[in-house]
Chains A and B, each alone.
Chain A
Amino acid sequence: MKHFAHLTVAVATLAILATGCGRDSVKVYKADSSDAPVTPPPAATPAAMPATMPDGLPVPDNSGQPKLKYTLPDGWKEKPLTQLRVASFEVSNNGKTADISVVPLGSMAGGDLANVNRWRGQVGQPPISDDELAKSVENIVITGKPSGLYDIVGTSPGSGEAERIVAAILHGDSATWFFKMSGDPDLVENQKANFVAFLKSLEFGPPAASANPTAADLSQLPPSHPAIPGLNLAAQPASDAAAAGTPTWTVPADWQAGPLAQFLVAKFIIGSGDTAAAVNVSQLDGTGGGLLPNINRWRGQLGQPPLTDADIAALPTIDATGTKATLVDVSGTDKRTGKAARLIGVIVPLSGQTWFYKLMGDANLVAQQQAAFTQFVQSAKYPDAH
C-alpha cells in the first residue's frame, strides 16, 4: 500500500509536468496598441532619392562606384563581403585575428570627427574634439589624395578585450571611403605597415560605365549583399540622353504622348480603358546591365519564368539604326492588373549606351500595334549615334 502511495505521487508529478503550461497552444485575446504592425522609425534625413522607381526602368549600371585595385599584403585573406563592405580581409597570427574592411559611403558618411569618435567608442575611448582630431591624425596619400590615418587603442566595451583600430578616411570624388583594420593590439601593430602599404597600393579603376559594364559586373555584388539598384544615381549627372537631347522618331498618329516618369526618355499611350497599351523608351549607359536581367525582369512583369543565357542568345533580332537589336515577345498576366497582357520589347545596343523600347498592354492591341512599334523603333535618329 505504501508503495502505491509513492507511485501515485510520482505519476501525478510527471503528469503535471508533461502537460506543461500550454505554452505551445493557440491563444486568442483582445488586441491592444502593442499588436499594431511594426512601423519603420521616421527617416532621420530628408529623402535624397526618388521615392518610387518608375515601372519599366531597365537596370541602371553601377558606374558611380569606381573599381578598386590593390596589392594584397602577405598573409591577408579575402573574406566574404557583408553589408556595405566592398572589400573585406582577415589576417591572423597565433590564434589572434584582425579584420580589415573597405566601405564607401555616399552622402550618408558624416564628417571625419563623427566617424573617428564612432571608432573611439568601439574601443571604449571618449570622444575627442576637432583640435584633438587634428593633432592625432597621421597624413597619408591614398590614390593621390591627401587622407587621414587614425590609430586608436582601447578596450572593446562589448568583449572587454584590448583592441586597436587603425583606420583611414579618403574623400573620393563620389563617395567617402573608409579603410579600417581592427583587432588584437599586437597584431594590428604588427600589420600596420602592411595596412599602410595596402592603402598606398590602392588605385581606382575607371568607372565601370566607360569600361562598358557587363551583367557580370552587377553580379559581383557580394552574395550576402542586398541587390542595390540605382546606387549613386543621386550623385550621377542627368543621363546622357537628357544632356545630349532626345532622339527623334516617327510616331504613329494614334499614339498619345504620355507623362514622363523619371528615367524615361519618352512614353506613349495607345488606346484607353481596358484595351490600352503603353510604349516606354529609356536609355542607359553601357549595356544597361546586360540583356539577361532586363529581359527576365520584363518576363517577370508578366509572371513568366526567367530565361537562361542560351535562351537569350537564341532570341530573334531586328535591324535598328544599323545595328542588331534583340526582340523580346512575352505573353502572360500583368501582375499589377491581373489581366492578360503581352509585352514586346526591343533592346538596341549603341556605342556606349543601350536603348530600351517596351510596348506592353492588352494582348490584341499589342498584336495590332506590333508593326507600328517596330517601325517606330527603326525610325529613331539618335543625336549622338555613331
Chain B
Amino acid sequence: MLIKKIVNFFTSLKLTVTLLAFSIVLVFVGTLAQADEGLYGAQAHYFKQWIVVGAHLFGHKVPLLLPGGYLLGVLLLVNLISAHIYRFEFTRKKLGIQLAHAGVIVLLVGQLSTDMLAREMQMHFTEGETRSYSESATDYEMIFVSNGEVTAIPNKLLKREGGEIKIDSLPFSILVVSNWHNSDMNFRAPMMQNGPPIASNGIALNFDFRKIDDVKTTDEKNVPTAVLEFRTPTGSLGTWVASDWTGDPALVEAVRNGYAQMGPGMAQKIAATLVTPQTLVVDGKSYTFTMRPARVRHPFTLTLLKATHTTYPGTDIPKDFRSRVRIDNPTTGEKREVEISMNHPLRYGGYTYYQYQMDAGQAAQMAGRAPTSVLSVVRNPGWLTPYVGCAMVGAGLLIQFLYHLAGFVSKRKTI
C-alpha cells in the first residue's frame, strides 16, 4: 500500500508540474541574485545546491526557502524515469512521447554529468614557453614538494576551520586555523607593523594577510589564503601562511608593480621576500609548500611558438587572435604544430583548447611585454548529451505530430 503511494507520488504529473514551477522560481531568483552575488556565487548558492536558504536580492537579504538546482534536477529525473518505467508501452501511438521524454532524461543526465565531470581550466604561456599542465581559474591546491615528489591537496579539503587532515605521503598533519576564500596582502614594513603577525613562521613575519569580501565579477579573481598549523607526533611545527599571493606569478608581478612607488629596488625586494620558499623540516626531510591554482597535468606538452594579434587596418579593433603551438607527446612520439584561433579550437587528448585571451601585438610590444596567450582548456565528457537530447526531443515531438496529423488527415478522408 505504502509502495503504491510512493510510486504514485513519484510518477504523478502533479509532481512534474510542481517541480517545473519551482524551477521557474529558482531560475528567476537565481538570475536576479547574480547582480548581488556574482555569476559563480549565484551558481553555487542556487543551482549547485540541494536546498536554498535565504537569497540576496536588490542589496537585501530575503528570507526564502527553495529547493536547490540539484534537488529539483534529481527529483525531475526520478519523476521522469519512474513515469517512463511504469507507463512504458511500446506502441506506435506513444512512440513520439516516449522518445521526447527519453530526450529530456538525456538532457538532465547530461547536465548532471557536465556539472560533475566537466572541467574548465586555462593555460597561460608567453612565446617560447612550454606547458605540461592546465590551471583552474577558480580552484586552488596546496602543494608540498619533497625530494622531487609533489603532494597536491585540493584547497577544498582544507576549508573546514579547526579541521585536521592527515595525508599518507606527509609525516605531519595539517590543522586549518583559518582559510579565506579571498584575501588582501600588505607588506609589514619594519616601521609600520602595528600588530602581531598572523602566523609564527615564514612569510607571515614579513606580510600581513587579511580576509576580504569575495569578488563578484568574472574578470576579478579571489586570492585564497590559509593559516595552517603543522603537527608531528612529537609536537607542533608552528603556524604558517599558505597563500595564492605567493603561488601565482601574475600576482607576484602585480605586488611588485603595486610597490613600485617605493622604488624599483625595494619593490623587487618585497616581491622576492613574498616568494621566499617556505620549508618544513621533519626527520631530516624538507617539505617546501605553497598554494597555487589547481593544476591538471597532461601527458604531453604544448609550446607557444607564436602569438599573433591582428587588427583591422588603421584601427585597434581585433581581427584575429591566433596561437601557433607545438604538441610534443613523448608517449606517442607525436610532434606537430597546430594553429589555434578564435573559432578553431584544438581537440587533443580529451581536452579542447580554445583561444581565450591574448596580450600580443602593438600594445604589448609598446609596453615591452612579451607576447602572451591564454587558452581555455575544457574537458567535458558529456558535451554530446545536449545535442543528442535535443535531437531526441525534437524527433519525438515531430513523430507525435506527424502521427496525429496522419490520423487527422485519414479521418477527414473518411468523412
Contact = CB atoms under 8 A, between A and B. Distances in A.
Interface of A: 2-3, 6-7, 10, 13, 17-18, 20-21, 23-32, 34-35, 37-41, 43-55, 57-60, 83-84, 105-108, 117-118, 121, 124-127, 154-155, 157, 218, 224, 226-231, 234, 289, 293-294, 296-297, 300, 303, 305-306, 335
Given A28-B169, A124-B317, A229-B192, A43 B261 contact: no
Interface residues of B, number: 79
A28 B86 contact: no
Contact of B261 (A54, A106, A294): A106
B265 A46 contact: yes
Nearest to A219: B194
Nearest to A84: B261
Nearest to B248: A38
B148 interface: yes
Contacts of B151: 26-28
B17 interface: no
A38 B275 contact: yes
Nearest to B276: A37
B143 A293 contact: no
B368 to A, nearest CB: 8
Contacts of A230: 189, 191, 262, 266
B113 A17 contact: yes
A23 B134 CA distance: 14
27 contacts: A6-B85, A7-B81, A21-B116, A28-B150, A30-B150, A37-B277, A37-B288, A38-B249, A38-B292, A40-B268, A40-B272, A45-B264, A47-B263, A49-B266, A58-B191, A84-B261, A157-B316, A157-B318, A157-B363, A226-B185, A226-B186, A226-B187, A229-B192, A234-B263, A293-B191, A296-B194, A335-B205
Max count, chain B CB within 10 A of own CB: residue among A31, A40, A108: A40
A300 B85 contact: no
A163 B149 CA distance: 51
Contacts, number: 209
B164 to A, nearest CB: 15
B101 interface: no
Nearest to A284: B191
B290 A37 contact: yes
A155 B259 CA distance: 30
B318 to A, nearest CB: 7
A288 to B, nearest CB: 9
What 3 pairs across the A-B complex have the smallest Cβ distances? Answer: A47-B265, A49-B263, A229-B189
A51 B262 CA distance: 11
Contacts of A229: 189-192, 262
Contacts of A47: 263-266, 268-269
B204 to A, nearest CB: 12
Given A34-B132, A40-B271, A43-B264, A26 B258 contact: no
A282 B265 CA distance: 23
Contact of B265 (A38, A48, A226): A48
Nearest to B265: A47
A56 to B, nearest CB: 8
A302 B292 CA distance: 33
B205 to A, nearest CB: 7
A48 B259 CA distance: 13
A106 B261 CA distance: 7
B157 A108 contact: no
Interface in B66-123: 77, 81, 84-86, 88, 109, 112-113, 116-117, 119
A84 B189 CA distance: 17
B116 A18 contact: yes
B19 interface: no
B266 A3 contact: no
A35 B263 contact: no
Nearest to B271: A40
B250 to A, nearest CB: 10
B145 interface: yes
Interface of chain B, helix or strand or loop or mixed?
Answer: mixed
Contacts of A105: 260-261
Contact of B366 (A60, A121, A228): A121
B145 A31 contact: yes
Interface string B333-348: 0000000000000000
Given A40-B253, A46-B265, A127-B366, A35 B153 contact: no
Contact of B154 (A26, A34, A106, A297): A26
Interface of B: 77, 81, 84-86, 88, 109, 112-113, 116-117, 119, 131-133, 143, 145, 148-154, 156-157, 167, 169, 184-196, 205, 246-249, 252-253, 256, 258-269, 271-272, 274-275, 277, 288, 290, 292, 297, 315-318, 362-363, 366-368
A1 B148 CA distance: 55
B185 to A, nearest CB: 8
A106 B263 contact: yes
Given A40-B275, A83-B258, A306-B195, A28 B265 contact: no
Given A34-B131, A41-B253, A108 B190 contact: no
Nearest to A58: B191
A354 B116 CA distance: 64
Contacts of B131: 34
Contact of B150 (A24, A35, A293): A35
Contacts of A53: 189-191
Nearest to A123: B316
Given A40-B252, A106-B263, A230-B262, A57 B190 contact: yes
Contacts of A31: 145, 148-150
B259 A228 contact: yes
Contacts of B248: 38
Given A23-B154, A40-B253, A118-B367, 20 more contacts: A10-B81, A17-B112, A23-B119, A26-B151, A26-B169, A34-B131, A37-B246, A37-B288, A38-B290, A40-B252, A40-B272, A40-B275, A47-B263, A47-B266, A121-B363, A127-B362, A224-B184, A229-B191, A230-B191, A297-B190
A117 B271 CA distance: 28
B265 A49 contact: yes
A53 B192 CA distance: 12
B265 A124 contact: no
Contacts of A26: 151-154, 157, 167, 169
A216 to B, nearest CB: 13
Given A23-B119, A38-B249, A108-B260, A117 B366 contact: yes
Contacts of B149: 28-31
Contact of A126 (B156, B190, B193, B362): B362
A108 B268 CA distance: 13
A267 to B, nearest CB: 16
Contacts of A155: 316-317
Contacts of B119: 23
Contacts of B258: 83-84, 226
Contact of B263 (A48, A55, A60, A227): A48
A297 B193 contact: yes
